[in-house]
Structure 1
Amino acid sequence: MDFELHYTAGQEEFRKEVRAFIEENAYKEPLEVVDPMKIPPEMWNKGREIQRKLGAKGWYAPGYAKEYGGGGLDREHRAVLAEEFAKIRLERRWPIASAGSTEVSAIHSSGLMSYGTEDQKKRLLPHLLKGEWYGFQAFTEPDAGTDEASMKSTAVRKGDVYVINGTKVFVGHSPPPIHPDYLYWPAVTDPKAPRHENISAFFVPGDLPGITYTPLELIAAEGSKWEVTCEDVQCPADRLIGEENKGWLVTQATLAAEHGGGGVVAPHLSSLSLRFIDYCKNTKRNGQPISRDPRIQDLLVHLYIEDQITRLWGLRNLAMASGQIPRVRYTGTQTSLHNKRHSPEMGKIFMEILGPHCLIDDPELKILVGEVEHQVRLADVTHIGGTPETQQIMMSRGLGLGRGARQAAR
């Protein structure tokens, strides 16, 4: 099956409209910041302003239904948006990382879409899909990361509120002192119920009394990270997502999206691997291009193959999500597992080819504006969204293997 995208004349006209919008809102000169942990508040605020503009046009959630605030666009129009935003990022004239996100995070919308009531969707989804709200995915706790069923946060119903207590760590992306509009917060609502049947999910307003935000100092992350504590926070009961004690299902829909189950349009030109390959072709060492070394050629070919796998799996998953081909349960987790295995591998290849030069963040000497240094530093951060071992367990469930499948067969 042909997963590649082909465009009509009308879609190419749409591309011109998108490019005009981008030029109107982009920086005039290339940025020097590439590390998402160093995003200044001014850049973050500019990115949020652009997201609201995109939301007003239906482009921030282009694949969602218009009745909820989305754009109702087909796969090809969404691909045009992705490609054009990839181009401006390559020019480094766009806010970086989450500050420059140009599409609503399915991590925040998928649980609500899958298990929210119609009333919840109509009240809450438009704020997300129009870029009006920014939130923290507050899942990880000091003693509960991958195993969410072990979380200690609690939510006790008292009248028209839930009183929430607990602490979440390594959450968010916004730079200090910027706090979120809401916290996507799972908590135990029935301590006596079995695991997986005792959790509820909430969109807790981020400015309620009793919420404390503490920025964390980390060596590597995909943005600024926070510790968030709720102490007797009174969350309105209408911020419950789905049904009470059904939060495990809500969070699983979120994790499926986080693992890539919805697929992606992966514009080829945005790939760091391909840009690194070009760097090696055009940079000389001992009088000849780095890529002329046979050993290095083998490493670069490996990078290229892995990059193509990522791109094609993303298009395959998108075709499944769009109904173009039958859906297979494990493919999102498969893509996530591949990326988590490849990230440390990529860091090692960069180091093997360039040595300590990879670690230099000096403005005059850093490689590819510092992206190589950032990738090497981030290479082993593979726990986000679940460790590689967790992805394997989730794949086995999708294949009908493992303890759960055996118990169901009895």
Structure 2
Amino acid sequence: MDLTYTPQEERFRAELRSWLARVLPSLPERPDPLDWPARRAYDTGWQRMLHDAGYAGLPHTATPTQHLIFLEETERAGAPYVGANFVGLLHAGPTIAAEGTPEQRARWLPPILRGDEVWCQGFSEPEAGSDLASLRTRAVRDGDHYVVTGSKTWTSHAEVADWCELLVRTAPVAPGTPKHKGISWLALPMDAPGVTVRPLRTLAGTAEFAEVFLDEVRVPVGNRVGAENDGWRVTLVTLSFERGTAFAGEVVACRRTLAALARTARANGRWDDPVLRRRLGRLHADLTVLWRLVQWNVSAAQHTGGVPGAGGSVFKLRYSHARQELYDTAAEVLGPGSLDLDHEWAADRLTSLSYTIAAGTSQIQRNIVAERLLGLPKGR
């Protein structure tokens, strides 16, 4: 795979960098991190600015490499992240672009790109997390609608979302049939009658997750992406984006955090500890290799219609642990200050604990790597 940038791509980078330098100083002050309606307004406002300037950021509007450059430059410039609409921009949108009908792409992609509509993810359930195929939320066909009943948990930004990428069971699991059969992928309007959202508070004190309860919610059949009972295959496309490219910008952010850690260690005297210096050096190597792996995955995706492959699991597995190591090191640099949750690094350390679970546990990623890349027999 070619990991270098073409002259055209470097021109795209220069133009983007110049635009960021002009517009970022004009942005309003960022809202309170706990005020999600205000954060939605801020995040979607930034997305509209990107859209109007031609930098909407979805892979289907540019080459995968241009999208990677976009992530790299916006993170380096300290631009706002996708925030409340990360599911729409990084998960649902790319899935609809890859698997949706022309009518579905025309209906949902433009509002995502403009920042007009926010999406959340309705995958996990109280008894179906890592074993996602065990989901029980059912959808019964009734004419031109599905009647959906069940519940979802860890639903990111459900309280401010307009739509939900929802996994449902449209056929019961017959004896001896794999559990992933009979699942469908639906676009659920969050204002539909029968939808109840209950926010969940995390260890860090934030409430970006929620429980969602579905009581005979009617969803048009036309909102199904992919064929009925073929939702598991569509879900794997969603997960490949979530693991393969959705964390790309975060690698750049981690590299910036590592540089700040080194500066702080020099300022507070911790730099004199050779063990700490070795940890910082090892993290620098890890994050450099992870960025190269991102480039490799993006380059590979250019040959598969923009959909990342199993290499995304390799990346996600190592990145999850590297992020935890980064913020454990931050706690060592800060010392007692690491107990102050008002400090960004202290809060990020708590958040990092979820990364070996979110988007598929590390155990799941190891199984994928073993089976799909190494050809080992399926685990029992």
Which consecutive unaligned segments of at least 5 residues does structure 1 have?
65-69, 363-369
Q: In the alignment, is the contact (CA less than 8 A) between 2:91 and 2:238 conserved in 1?
A: yes
Q: Distance in 2 between matches of 1:321 and 1:299?
A: 33
Q: AA paired with 1:345?
A: E
Q: Counterpart in 1 of 2:162? A: 181
Q: How does 1:21-40 map to 2 (within 5 A)?
A: 21-24=23-26, 26-27=27-28, 38-40=34-36
State the shift of 1:200 in Å: 0.6
Q: What is the alpha-carbon root mean square deviation over aligned residues?
A: 3.2
The alignment status of 1:315 with 2:295, answered yes or no, reads: yes
Q: Counterpart in 1 of 2:111? A: 127
Q: In the alignment, is the contact (CA less than 8 A) between 1:138 and 1:171 conserved in 2?
A: yes
Q: Counterpart in 1 of 2:46? A: 50
Q: In the alignment, is the contact (CA less than 8 A) between 2:71 and 2:248 conserved in 1?
A: no
Q: Distance in 1 between matches of 2:307 and 2:50?
A: 30
What's the CA shift string for 1:132-186, capped at 9, x where partnerless?
A: 3211111000000011110010000101110000100111136xxx431111111
Q: Counterpart in 2 of 1:378? A: 351
Distance 1:391 1:217, change over 3 A: same
Q: AA paired with 1:386?
A: G
Q: In the alignment, is the contact (CA less than 8 A) between 1:140 and 1:170 conserved in 2?
A: yes
Moved more, 252-261 or 125-134: 125-134
State the shift of 1:271 in Å: 2.6
Q: Distance in 1 between matches of 2:358 and 2:246?
A: 18
Moved more, 208-217 or 131-140: 131-140
Q: In the alignment, is the contact (CA less than 8 A) between 1:138 and 1:183 conserved in 2?
A: yes
Q: Counterpart in 2 of 1:3? A: 3
Q: AA paired with 1:376?
A: R
Q: 1:191 aligns with which of 161, 165, 172?
A: 172
Q: Distance in 2 between matches of 1:237 and 1:146?
A: 27
Q: 1:351 aligns with which of 307, 331, 343?
A: 331
State the shift of 1:113 in Å: 3.0
State the shift of 1:392 in Å: 0.4
Q: Counterpart in 2 of 1:98? A: 83
TM-score by length of 1: 0.80
Give the match's secondary structure for 1:379: helix
The alignment status of 1:218 with 2:207, answered yes or no, reads: no
Which consecutive unaligned segments of at least 5 residues does structure 2 have?
none
Q: Distance in 1 between matches of 2:143 and 2:307?
A: 42
State the shift of 1:19 in Å: 3.4
Q: In the alignment, is the contact (CA less than 8 A) between 1:262 and 1:332 conserved in 2?
A: no
State the shift of 1:402 in Å: 4.0
Q: In the alignment, is the contact (CA less than 8 A) between 1:303 and 1:346 conserved in 2?
A: yes
The alignment status of 1:339 with 2:341, answered yes or no, reads: no
User: What is the number of residues matched between the two proteins?
Assistant: 372
Distance 1:346 1:84, change over 3 A: closer
Distance 1:268 1:97, change over 3 A: closer
Q: In the alignment, is the contact (CA less than 8 A) between 1:190 and 1:198 conserved in 2?
A: yes
Q: Counterpart in 2 of 1:276? A: 261
The alignment status of 1:299 with 2:296, answered yes or no, reads: no
Give the match's secondary structure for 2:44: helix
Q: In the alignment, is the contact (CA less than 8 A) between 1:271 and 1:307 conserved in 2?
A: no
Q: 1:253 aligns with which of 237, 248, 253?
A: 237
State the shift of 1:233 in Å: 0.4
Distance 1:345 1:192, change over 3 A: closer
Distance 1:40 1:227, change over 3 A: closer
Q: In the alignment, is the contact (CA less than 8 A) between 2:68 and 2:298 conserved in 1?
A: no
Aligned structure 1 segments of 4 or more residues deviating by more than 6 angstroms: none
Q: AA paired with 1:136?
A: C
What's the CA shift string for 1:101-145, capped at 9, x where partnerless?
A: 6x9633112332333333333333333333332111110000000
Select the structure of larger CA radius of gyration.
1
State the shift of 1:344 in Å: 2.9
Q: Counterpart in 2 of 1:365? A: none
The alignment status of 1:85 with 2:69, answered yes or no, reads: no
The alignment status of 1:164 with 2:159, answered yes or no, reads: no
Q: Distance in 2 between matches of 1:346 and 1:213?
A: 34
Q: Comparing both structures, which one devotes a greater share of its residues to helix?
A: 2
Q: Distance in 2 between matches of 1:220 and 1:263?
A: 20
Q: Distance in 2 between matches of 1:99 and 1:298?
A: 36
TM-score by length of 2: 0.86
Q: 1:137 aligns with which of 97, 121, 145?
A: 121
Q: Counterpart in 2 of 1:396? A: 370
Q: Distance in 2 between matches of 1:391 and 1:216?
A: 26
State the shift of 1:14 in Å: 4.8
Q: Counterpart in 1 of 2:220? A: 236
Q: AA paired with 1:234?
A: R
Distance 1:270 1:48, change over 3 A: farther
Q: Counterpart in 2 of 1:15? A: 17
What's the CA shift string for 1:13-59, capped at 9, x where partnerless?
A: 453234334444x23x6x596xx5x2453232121122133234442
State the shift of 1:354 in Å: 3.5
State the shift of 1:231 in Å: 0.1
Q: AA paired with 2:263?
A: D
Give the match's secondary structure for 2:127: coil
Give the match's secondary structure for 1:248: helix
Q: Counterpart in 2 of 1:67? A: none
Q: In the alignment, is the contact (CA less than 8 A) between 2:162 and 2:191 conserved in 1?
A: yes
Give the match's secondary structure for 1:398: helix
Q: Distance in 1 between matches of 2:379 and 2:359?
A: 23
Q: AA paired with 1:186?
A: L
What's the CA shift string for 1:210-252, capped at 9, x where partnerless?
A: 0001011221488611000110001111101110000001111
Q: In the alignment, is the contact (CA less than 8 A) between 1:115 and 1:249 conserved in 2?
A: no
